[in-house]
Structure 1
Amino acid sequence: MSGRFEVDECLDGPVGCAGEVVEYLALSGSGERYPRCERHYQGYVERVQPKIDDINRRYPAMAPADFDPTYAGERWDEDDY
């Protein structure tokens, strides 16, 4: 057993499973791994990746060129405090 789930059992299955069950990294960047069959992993990517892309677009790692830290006393990252 790896973590909370059996490696050979799909987290989203067994209904609708297809393909090999593999421990895939979570798209959130948490470092967690979850066992999913190939079909359910593809569904997970299709469901979650647009949300991750939207978050990354709205909250980029680097401040935009027009960011002014004096405006309303805002800071871009915790190192600015």
Structure 2
Amino acid sequence: MDGLDDDDGARHRARMQAACVDAQAALLGLPLAPEHRPGVLHYFGIAAAMAALVMEHPLEPGDEPAALFVPVSPEQR
């Protein structure tokens, strides 16, 4: 992030992710027990990291969604 070192950027992302989790739970009327919150935040962070990887890949005008997703194991590559 501009003007932030890695630690500050990580703390900022963690605060933003926590705010997002809290807002979404409130919007859905989903009670989030205090003892569950750290785990929810952990997995939300994992999902955010995966989404960032997807968003790094530029789409071309001719790209279309697959009609069927078939997972491929690393050995099949």
Q: TM-score scaled to structure 2, two decimals?
A: 0.35
Report which structure shows greater RCO (CA 8 Å, sep ≥6).
Answer: 2
Q: What TM-score do the two structures reach when normalised by structure 1?
A: 0.34
The structure carrying a bigger helix percent of its residues is 2
Higher strand share: 1
